[in-house]
Amino acid sequence: MCISSSAGEPARGNYGSYEQAVEFHGHSCGGLASGYRVAVAALKALGVERPKDEELVAIAETNACGVDAIQFITGCTAGKGNLIIHDYGKHAFTFYCRKSNKAVRVVTSLDGFLPEEMNSLRPKVFSGHATEEEKARYQELAHQGVHAILSAPEEKILKIQFVDMQPPQKARIFQSIPCECCGEMVADAKTRELDGKRVCMPCYLSATNQ
């Protein structure tokens, strides 16, 4: 369900704006707004700007909308290998700076920031059974929630704590080889052995019916 991005706020320093994060993600929502607040807070706490490479590593404990804000604002992306996702269903994120060897964990607390009425309307809206009036009301409430999240004092919405951790492993570069079953190229470390052949995971799973 898309929400108008007009609830965004101006760019903070060199971190990028919420509006830009909305453009990247595709719509505005409470999850994206909380991820934006997390990303900005983490960069501020570590005293860094958006890196160009793997200088910063993000570990997300959710795969929800906020992760896109993390990618856009912090530069920690799946493609560069410096975004690690453990989907524990928790809006908690840890950021490690390789240059300073410092890490900060940021946890969101949205209690009271999203209107309670949204909980009763959400099932109807996302199941397609909501009336036009209910859809409009949900949009209005969601807009209010985004605004509340973006404008809330940092200490009211985020728990920020420096933590000790081992440096995350850097992204590995693999050699590509042809799967001996389907012929498609696959990273050598991602293959499995099947009847003496090196095959890709889909072919392996298909052959073993897993």
Q: Is 95 exposed, middle or buried (0-12, 13-18, 19+ CB in 10 A)?
A: buried
pLDDT at 182: 94
Supply 78's token pair. 């799946």
Beta pairing, strands 56-60 & 158-163: unpaired
pLDDT at 210: 63
Distance CA 160, CA 154 (A): 9
Distance CA 34, CA 61 (A): 14
pLDDT at 15: 81
Angle made by CA atoms 139, 141, 144, in degrees to the nearest 5 = 110
Beta pairing, strands 176-178 & 158-163: unpaired
CA dist 202 → 16, 54, 85, 187, 190 (Å): 39, 29, 22, 13, 11
Model confidence pLDDT, tens digit, residues 137-153: 999 999 999 999 999 99
Provide the residue-wise pLDDT of the chain in tens; the chain has 210 residues. 434 333 334 344 578 899 999 999 999 999 999 999 999 999 999 999 888 888 999 999 999 999 999 999 999 998 898 999 999 999 999 999 999 999 999 999 887 777 888 888 989 999 999 999 999 999 999 999 999 999 999 999 999 999 999 888 776 778 899 999 999 999 988 899 999 999 999 999 998 886
Question: What fold characterizes domain 176-208?
Answer: Wheat Germ Agglutinin (Isolectin 2); domain 1 (3.30.60)
| C-alpha radius of gyration, the chain, whole number | 21
CATH architecture, domain defined by 5-163: 2-Layer Sandwich (3.30)
Distance CA 159, CA 73 (A): 19
Supply 70's token pair. 């993390």
**CATH 3.30.1330.130 boundaries in the chain:** 5-163
Q: Which of 26, 59, 16, 12 lies closest to 154 in space, CA to CA?
A: 12
**pTM for the full predicted model:** 0.80
pLDDT at 111: 78
Supply 195's token pair. 């009847």
**CATH 3.30.60 boundaries in the chain:** 176-208
Distance CA 17, CA 43 (A): 14
User: Which residues does residue 56 pair with via DSSP β-bridges, in sequence order?
Assistant: 97
Supply 190's token pair. 């991602």
Q: Which residues of 142-174 are buried (b: 16+ CB within 10 A; e: fewer)?
A: bbbbbbbbbebeeeebbeeeeeeeeebeeeeee
In the three-class reduction of DSSP (H, G, I as helix; E, B as strand; rest coil), residue 176 is classed as strand
